[in-house]
Amino acid sequence: MATSPYRVVLGDAFDGLHPRLKAYFDGIPEGGHGFGRGVFDTVGTPRRWLWPALAVLARAHVVFPVWERDVPFTVWNAPGVTAGDVPSVRATRLFLLASGRRAMVDEITVEGGVIVDTLGRPARVSAHFDAAVVDGGLTLTSTRVAFLLGRARIPVPRLVAPRVQLTERYDDERDAQLVSIRLDLPGVGRLYEYAGTFRYQIEQGERDA
pLDDT in tens, 92-139: 999 999 999 999 999 999 999 999 999 999 999 999 999 999 999 999
Q: Is pLDDT above 80 for 54? A: yes
Q: Residue 89 belongs to a domain with what CATH number?
A: 2.40.128.20
Q: Is pLDDT above 90 for 29? A: no
Q: Is pLDDT above 80 for 39? A: yes
Residue 124 lies in a domain: yes
Residue 181 lies in a domain: yes
Residue 208 lies in a domain: no
pLDDT digits (tens, 9 = 90+) for 151-194: 889 999 988 899 999 999 999 999 999 999 999 998 889 999 99
Residue 139 lies in a domain: yes
- At 1, the pLDDT band (50, 70, 90 cuts) reads low
Could you list the residue range(s) of the whole structural domain that residue 42 is in? Answer: 5-203
Residue 165 lies in a domain: yes
Distance of CA 179 to the CA centre of its chain: 9
Residue 68 lies in a domain: yes
Q: Which residues contact 181 (CB under 8 A, 6 or more apart)?
A: 164, 165, 166, 167, 193, 194, 195
Residue 125 lies in a domain: yes
- At 143, the pLDDT band (50, 70, 90 cuts) reads very high
Distance of CA 165 to the CA centre of its chain: 10
CA distance 131 to 197: 21
Question: How high is the pLDDT of residue 31?
Answer: 84
The reported pTM is: 0.92
Q: For the purposes of burial, counting CB atoms within 10 Å of the CB of 40, is it exposed (0-12), middle (13-18) or buried (19 or more)? A: buried
- At 8, the pLDDT band (50, 70, 90 cuts) reads very high
Q: Is pLDDT above 60 for 208? A: no
| H or E element at residue 196 | strand 189-204
Question: How high is the pLDDT of residue 81?
Answer: 82
Structurally, how many domains does the chain consist of?
A: 1
Q: Own/partner pairs for 45-52, CB < 8 Å, 24+ apart?
A: 45/190, 45/191, 45/192, 45/193, 47/190, 47/191, 50/191, 50/192
Residue 198 lies in a domain: yes
Question: How high is the pLDDT of residue 159?
Answer: 85
